[in-house]
Amino acid sequence: MPGISFDRAVDYYDATRGYPPGVAAQLRDAIVATLQLKRHARLLEAGVGTGRIALPFIEAGYFYVGVDLSRRMMRQLRQKLDGRRHSTYLVCGDVMHLPLSDAAFDAAVMVHVLHLVENWRQVLDEARRVLHSQGAIVIASDERDGQEGAPPTPRAQVQQAWSAILDELNVPPDQRRDGAPHGLDDRFQEHLQMHGAAVERLTLLTYRQHPQTVRSVAQRYQERIYSSCWVLSDDIHAEAARRLQRWVDAHPDPDAVHEPPAQIDAMIARWN
Ligand SMILES: C[S@@+](CC[C@H](N)C(=O)[O-])C[C@H]1O[C@@H](n2cnc3c(N)ncnc32)[C@H](O)[C@@H]1O
C-alpha cells in the first residue's frame, strides 16, 4: 500500500475539510508571494485530492499538475473545472514514484499528505527530483488546535479524549498512526537539510475556523470521517465510539459553539 487513498472520503471531504470562504485564495496568494512565483510558474501538488489547495491556483491560470492515488477525489476537482479553460493535468499515481520527468517544476506543494504515505522520505526525494535547481518544496499544514495558553478548542479536547480511549482499549500499534509524522514534523526539516536544502518556517495566514462544538467534532470520529479512524477494526471503532459518547455526555458544555482561530504554517525548502 503506497498510501491511504481517500476514495471513501470523496462524498464528505469538501464539507468536512473545506476552508471558510476566501481562505484558500489567501493561501495561494501567500505561497505566490513567499516563493515570488511568476505567472508562468509550473506547480506540482502531491496528493491533490479534490483541489482544496489547487483550485485557486488553477483559477489564477497557473500550470498545475496534481497527482493522487484517488481517481474519485480528482474527478471532483475535474467537475469543479468543468467547461473552464485551464492548464491542469491530474495524474492518478503514487507520489513516492512520480510519473514525471526531472527538473520540470518551480514548486512542489504538499498539504496533509506526508502522514498518509508509506515512505515520506521518498516523497520528498521525488519532489526534489522533479524540481528545477531554483525550485522549492512547500509543506503546508493547518494548525487548528488553538494558541498556546488559550483553552483547548473542541477539536483538541475531542482528539485528546479519543487518544485516551484508544490507550484504554490497548489498540495495536498497526491500527494507530500516531507515529506517522504529521504537520510540519522536525523530521521533514532534518531530511531536507540533510539533502542540502535551506529550510524556512513561517505562518502563511491566520483565519477563523468553521463553528464547532465538542459534540459535532466527536460525531466526526464516531462517523469515521477522519482517516485515523479508517485503520481501526470495526469492533474497536464501535467500542471507542461508544466510550466517546459517554465522554461527550459527561462533558460540562458539549454544545457550546466555538469559532477558534487557526493558522496555516509552512516549511519551505530551497536549494539555490
Ligand atoms: C488529506 S487529502 C489532502 C488533499 C489536498 N492536498 C488538501 O489539502 O485538501 C490526502 C490526499 O493524498 C492522497 N494520497 C495518499 N497517499 C498517496 C500516495 N502515496 N500517492 C498519491 N496520493 C496519495 C489521498 O488519496 C488524498 O486525496
Q: What residue has cell string 458544555?
A: 253
* Distance in angstroms (rounded) separating the CA atoms of residues 228 and 221: 9
- In short, whether 112's Cβ falls inside 6 Å of ligand 1 is yes
In this structure, the answer to whether residues 3 and 53 fall within a common structural domain is yes
pLDDT 10s digits, 148-177: 778 899 999 999 999 999 999 999 888 887
* Distance in angstroms (rounded) separating the CA atoms of residues 63 and 42: 5
- 180 φ/ψ angles, rounded to the nearest 5 degrees: -65, 130
| Higher per-residue confidence, 113 vs 151 | 113
In this structure, the answer to whether residues 70 and 205 fall within a common structural domain is yes
User: Is residue 108 within 8 Å of 130, Cβ to Cβ?
Assistant: yes
**How many domains is the chain built from?**
2
* CB crowding 186-218: b at 16 or more within 10 Å, else e: eebbebbeeeebebeeeebbebebeebbbbbbb
Percent of the chain with pLDDT over 90: 90
pLDDT 10s digits, 3-33: 999 999 999 999 999 999 999 999 999 999 9
In this structure, the answer to whether residues 202 and 221 fall within a common structural domain is no
- In short, whether 140's Cβ falls inside 6 Å of ligand 1 is no
In this structure, the answer to whether residues 53 and 102 fall within a common structural domain is yes
**Model pLDDT, residue 178:** 72
| Higher per-residue confidence, 193 vs 177 | 193
Collapsing DSSP to helix, strand or coil, 39 comes out as coil
**Model pLDDT, residue 175:** 85
In this structure, the answer to whether residues 85 and 167 fall within a common structural domain is no
Query: Counting atoms of ligand 1 from 1, which one is nearest the CA of 123?
Result: 19
Probe target for ligand 1 pocket from 1, 6, 17, 144, with the most ligand atoms within 8 Å of CB: 6
* Distance in angstroms (rounded) separating the CA atoms of residues 10 and 265: 25
Beta strands in the chain (DSSP E): 42-46, 63-68, 88-92, 105-111, 131-143, 198-208, 261-270
Q: Is the pLDDT of residue 98 over 80?
A: yes
Picking from 179-188, 216-225, 241-250, which range would have the lowest pLDDT averaged per residue? 179-188
CA max distance for the chain = 56
In this structure, the answer to whether residues 198 and 243 fall within a common structural domain is no
In this structure, the answer to whether residues 110 and 95 fall within a common structural domain is yes
- In short, whether 209's Cβ falls inside 6 Å of ligand 1 is no
pLDDT 10s digits, 198-232: 999 999 999 999 999 999 999 999 999 999 999 99
- What is the extent of the structural domain holding 245? 149-178+213-256
User: Is residue 125 within 8 Å of 112, Cβ to Cβ?
Assistant: no
- In short, whether 139's Cβ falls inside 6 Å of ligand 1 is no
* Grid coordinates given for 183: 504537520
Measured CA distances, 165 to 176, 230, 238, 242 (Å): 12, 16, 12, 10
CATH number at residue 194: 3.40.50.150
**Model pLDDT, residue 138:** 98
Q: Whole-model pTM?
A: 0.95
pLDDT 10s digits, 63-72: 999 999 999 9
Mean of all residue pLDDT scores within the chain: 95
**Model pLDDT, residue 176:** 84
Could you tell me the pLDDT band of residue 40, with boundaries at 50, 70 and 90?
Answer: very high
**Model pLDDT, residue 173:** 81
Instruction: Determine the distance separating the centroid of ligand 1 and the alpha carbon of 185, expressed in angstroms.
Output: 17
**Model pLDDT, residue 226:** 94
* Distance in angstroms (rounded) separating the CA atoms of residues 70 and 72: 5
Query: 76 forms bridges with which residues in the sheet?
Result: none
